[in-house]
Structure 1
Amino acid sequence: MSAEFDLFVVGAGMAGTTAANKCAAEGWRVGIVDALPYGGTCALRGCDPKKILRRGAEVIDAADLMRSKGISEGRISIDWSALMAHKRGFTDSVPEGIEDELVGNGVVSFHGSARFTGPNRIDVDEMQVNAKRFLIASGARPRSLAFPGHEHLIDSSDFLNLNRLPERIVFVGGGFISFEFAHIAARAGTNCTIIDHGDRPLKEFDPDLVDLLVERTKKTGIFVQLATTIHSVTPTAAGLDITLERDGQTFVIGADLVVHGAGRIPNLDGLDLNAANIASTPRGVTVTGHLQSTTNPAVYAAGDCADTPGRPLTPVAVFEGKVAASNMLKATTTTPDYTAVPTTVFTIPELNRVGVLEQDARDSGADITVRHLDTSGWYSNYRVGETTAATKIIIDMNTDTILGAHLLGPDYSELINILGLAIKLGLTTRQLKSMTATYPSIASDLGSML
C-alpha cells in the first residue's frame, strides 16, 4: 500500500501537531505518524504530569513551612496511588483528544514506526508514504548510559507511571529531571539521593542561586552527591547496589529504584536519515535558520530533534512548529525568535532563568550592574514561611534594559514571564518600575528587585 501527501510529519508531539494542524488548515493533504500515543513528552511523559504530581509535594511543603505558625503539628501525607490517579485523569484523555483534533482538521493519522527509504519517501511499517515535504518532530529520548548495570535503571516516563514509591530512590544526573522528581518523591516520604558527575548541578542556571537550591534540597532530606561517578548498578536480594567513586574513594549505597535523569538526546534512531540524505549532529537534524534541512530541501525539523539555538522546551517546540509550517506554506525563510524564552526547574521553591548568565554578560564586555538580593525575608516569602529565596537581575547600564534575570523562590515562575517580556520588548527598568501591581502579590516585588 502507498499514500501521497503534501506534508508528512514524523512525531505527534507539540511541534509536529502544531505544524500538521496549521498546514491542513490551508488545504494541504497532511499525514502524521508516531509509534507512541499522540501528545508527545510534555503532555504525557513530562511537564504536565510532573507538575500535577508536584502539587501534592507543594501541599506537604506548604504545611511543613507553616508548622508552629498556625498549622498544627499533625502529619499530613501523600497517597501516591490517589495522586497518580489524579495525574491519569488528565493524561489518559490526551492522546485521543489530540488525534481527534488532527483528524477533524483533515490530517491522516498513522500509528507505527517510520523509516526513510528515499529523499521523498518514508515507510510506516508496511505502508509506503510519498510526500512533497517532511517535518521531523520526533522529540528526544534518554541518552544511553555505559556503566555496567545501566539496564536496571528506569527513565522519567517510567517514574511518572509508578503506582507506588519505594523506600529508597537514587536519581542519576544533576539536571531538571533528577531535581524535580526528587523534590516530589521526598515529600511523599521516599529517601532520595541525587548523584551528579560534575561539581555543580543545573549548569544552565545561575551558580549562586543553584548553591542555595542545593542547600534547600539537602534540608528537605535529599542527599546530593556531587563530583561522584557511578561505576555500576548491581541487583541484590535487598534491591540494588550502586558502586560510586568520589575523591578517589570507592563506596556502595543501596536503593530500591534507580532513575535515569542524566540528560536526553534527539530521538532519531531508526529513521535511517542517510537514506533520505538528511544530515544530523548529536544535537539533532542539521537545519538552516529557517528550519529546513541543509542537505534535503524537502525536509524540515523542529523541536527537540532539531539542531537549533533553541532550548529543549515545549514553548520552543511549539513556535518552531509554527515557523516551519509557515515557511513551508509560503516558501519563506523566516527564522524563529529565540529571544527571552524563560525556563524553570520546578523544584520547591522553583529556580528560574531568562536571558544571559552573569558571567556571560561580563565576558561580553557590556557595562552591567547586577542587582543580587536575598529575598527570603521579604513579605511574600515570610507569608508562606519560605526561608530560601533570592534574585539576580543583570542590567545594561547604557540602555537601562535587562540582559538576564535569575529567580529562586515560591511562585517566581510567574514573575520570570514578566521579565522575559521586558527583555523581548526592550523595556527599561524605569518603565517596569512605573507599573502599579496588585498588592500584595509576587509581581508587586518586581520594582524592589530592580
Structure 2
Amino acid sequence: MTETLDLIVIGAGMAGVSAAKKCARAGWSVAIVDELPYGGTCALRGCDPKKMLRAGAEAVDAARRLTGKGITGETRIDWPALMKHKESFTDPVPESMESGLKDAGVRTLHGRARFIAKDRMAIDGHGEIAFRHALIATGAKPRSLEFPGAERLIDSTEFLNLAELPRRIVFVGGGYVSFEFAHIAARAGAQVTILDRGARQLKRFDPDLVDMLLDRSRAAGIEVLAEAVIERVEDKGGAHRVVFRTADGTDAVEADLVVHGAGRVPAIDHLDLAAAGIETEQGGVKVTPWLQSPSNSRIFAAGDAAASPGKPLTPVAVFEGKIAASNMLKDKRTEPDYTGMPSVVFTIPELARVGLLEEEARERADVEVSFTDTSGWFSQKRLGESHAGAKIITAEDGKILGAHMFGPDYAELINVFSLAIKLGLTAAQVKAMPAAYPTGASDIGSMF
C-alpha cells in the first residue's frame, strides 16, 4: 500500500527547508527530497560561497586602494587557499541541514522526484509516495543558450569550485553573476571581459549608479562590452574564441574560460508537472497570490520555482516558504507582502536598492529625487574609495519610496531604508534617527 504524507517538499533549499520544518513542528507527516546535496543554491552554489570568495577580493582591493596611504607591499590572492576558505563553510552545510531537518521531524530523501498523478509522485530509489499537499521549491538553473559552442561554457556552480583561476575569462551576460564574479576574478589577477547583448546592464538597478559601477569596474581592469551578441564559441588551440557581433561589425575575444552569467530560469522541467495537472506561466509554476496552484489545489510553490511577484532572492524564498506552509496548515489565503525587500549586487564596492526605481516612482506620483555623489565623503576617503553615490526617492507626503546606493558597506546601510519603507516612515523620521559616529549610518541625514 502506498504511503501517504501530509506534505512532500521538492527541493532542500531555503524555501523548502523553512516550509518543511514549520509543518513538521505543527505535527504533520513531512518528507523533503532533493537530488542534489541539501542546502540549495544560496548556501552551496550561490550567495554564501560567492561572498566567501569576495572576502579575499575585498582584502586585496582595500590594500591596493591604500597603497601609498600607509600600506606598502604586494597583496595577492592565493586562489586554491581562498577556495579552501570557501569550502570550510560549504562542506559542512549538507550534513548540518539534513540533521536540522531530522531534528524537526522531517523525513529526508535523496533522489529525483516527478509527479505521476495529482496526489502522487515517484522518487528514484524510494518508489511512489502519495500526499495531501506538495510544495515545489526546486529553485532555478542557468537558462539555455542557443549559439553554437554554448556547451563550452561553465556555469556559476562550476566557477565557484574552480581549483585554479584561469588567466583570461569572459563572462556572458550583464547581470548579478557576471558582475559579482568578474570583480572577484579581476582582483585575483585574471584578465576579465563581460559581454552583454543589452544596451543597459543590471536593469533592476538605478541607471545612474550602474554607470558609477561600470566606471569602477573598468578602473578595476574589467572590460564591459554592451550590445555584444554572441554568434559562437569555438576552439582556439585548447582555449576558446568567443565571436560576437556589435553595431560596428563582428569581433572576437580569446579566453581560457567562458562563464554563463546570462540569466536563470525555474528548475522545473524534470518534474512532469502535466501529470499532476499543474499549470505554468513565465517559465515557473503558476500560483495564486497566496502561492497555491490554481489547477491543483494540493500544490503550492515558493522561491525561484514559483511564478510569483517575488524577486529571485534568498529572503523572498524563505518568506514565501513560510507563507506557503502557514496557508497549508491553516487552510488560509495569506498573501506575501514584498514591501521593503532589498537587493544587492556584491561587486566591490556593492550596488544596493530597495523600493521603487526613479522611473517607476515618477509614473505613480510627483516625487522628490535626491541624488548625491558621496565619493568625496569621509566614509569613502578613509578607505581610499573613488566611486560612491546615493539616490533617495520620496513622495509628496515625505514617505520614502525608494533608496539606491553604490559604495562601501552600503549593503548594510540599505537595510535602514528597507525598514523605513516597510514601516512607511518619512524622510524626516529617518533623518531623526541618532547614529553612532563616524559610521555609514551617520551619513544618512545628508543623503536627502
TM-score (norm 2): 0.99
Residue equivalent to 1:409: 407
Measured in 2, the distance between the counterparts of 1:359 and 1:132 equals 45
Q: What is the CA distance between 1:3 and its match in structure 2?
A: 2.6
CA contact (8 A) 1:114 1:124 kept: yes
- 1:261-314 deviation line (CA, Å, top 9, x unaligned): 000000001100000000001341000011000100000000000011100000
Distance in 1 separating the partners of 2:384 and 2:447 = 20
Name the residue aligned to 1:145.
Answer: 145
Q: In structure 1, the residue corresponding to 2:245 is in which secondary structure?
A: strand
Which residue in 1 is equivalent to 2:277?
277
- Count the aligned residue pairs: 447
- Secondary structure at the aligned position of 1:339 is classed as coil
What is the aligned-residue identity percentage? 58
Match of 1:400 in 2: 398
Which residue is equivalent to 1:210? 210
The 1-side partners of 2:320 and 2:363 are apart by 29
Q: Is 1:98 aligned with 2:97?
A: yes
Partner residue, 1:58: 58
Q: Which residue of 2 aligns with 1:370?
A: 369
Using the alignment, how far apart are the partners of 2:375 and 2:210 within structure 1?
A: 15
Name the CA distance, whole Å, in 2 between partners of 1:433 and 1:406: 16
Measure the CA separation in 2 of the matches of 1:43 and 1:175: 20
- The one-letter amino acid paired with 2:202 is L
Alignment of 1:71-86 (within 5 A): 71-72=71-72, 74-86=73-85
Contact 1:12 1:34 in 2 (8 A): yes
Please say if 1:48 is aligned against 2:48: yes
Q: Distance in 1 between matches of 2:23 and 2:8?
A: 10
SS of the residue corresponding to residue 89 of structure 1 reads: helix
3-state SS of paired residue (2:52): helix
Other-structure match for 2:299 = 299
SS at 2:271 equivalent: coil
Q: Is this contact kept in 2: 1:172–1:261, CA < 8 A?
A: yes
Task: Measure the CA separation in 1 of the matches of 2:59 and 2:334.
Answer: 44
> What is the CA–CA distance in structure 1 between the aligned matches of 2:447 and 2:252, rounded to whole Å?
45
Contact 1:284/1:307 (<8 A) preserved: yes
Aligned to 1:241: 241
Which residue matches 1:232? 232
In 1, the alpha carbon distance for the partners of 2:270 and 2:414 equals 39
Provide, for residues 202-251 of structure 1, a one-character-per-residue CA deviation record: whole Å limited to 9, x for no partner. Answer: 00000010011001101100110111010000112140011111114111
Trace 1:135-174 onto structure 2 (pairs within 5 A).
Answer: 135-174=135-174
Is structure 2 residue 15 aligned with structure 1 residue 15?
yes
Task: Write the deviation string for residues 333-387 of structure 1: whole angstroms up to 9, x where unpaired.
Answer: 00011001000000001000100010111112x1211010000000101110101
Q: Which residue of 2 is the match for residue 420 of structure 1?
A: 418
Write the letter of the residue equivalent to 1:393: I
Unaligned stretches of 5+ residues in structure 2? none
The reply on whether 1:316 has 2:289 as its aligned counterpart is no
SS of equivalent to 1:24? helix
Q: Distance in 1 between matches of 2:186 and 2:161?
A: 17
Checking the alignment, whether the CA contact within 8 Å between 1:266 and 1:282 is kept in structure 2 is no
Q: Give the structure 2 partner of residue 4 of structure 1.
A: 4
Per the alignment, in what secondary structure is the counterpart of residue 245 of structure 1?
Answer: strand
* Post-superposition offset of 1:331: 0.5
Distance in 2 (CA, whole Å) between partners of 1:240 and 1:233 is: 7
* DSSP-derived class of the 1:307 partner: coil
Q: Contact conserved, 1:169 with 1:257, CA < 8 A, in 2?
A: yes
Which consecutive segments of 4 or more residues in structure 1 shift more than 3 A?
Answer: none
- Residue number in structure 1 paired with 2:432: 434
Q: Aligned partner of 2:410: which letter?
A: Y
Q: Which segment is superposed worse, 44-53 or 424-433?
A: 424-433
1:265/1:282 contact within 8 Å kept: no
CA RMSD of aligned residues (A): 0.8
With structure 1 as the length reference, what TM-score do the two structures score?
0.98
AA at the equivalent of 2:329: L
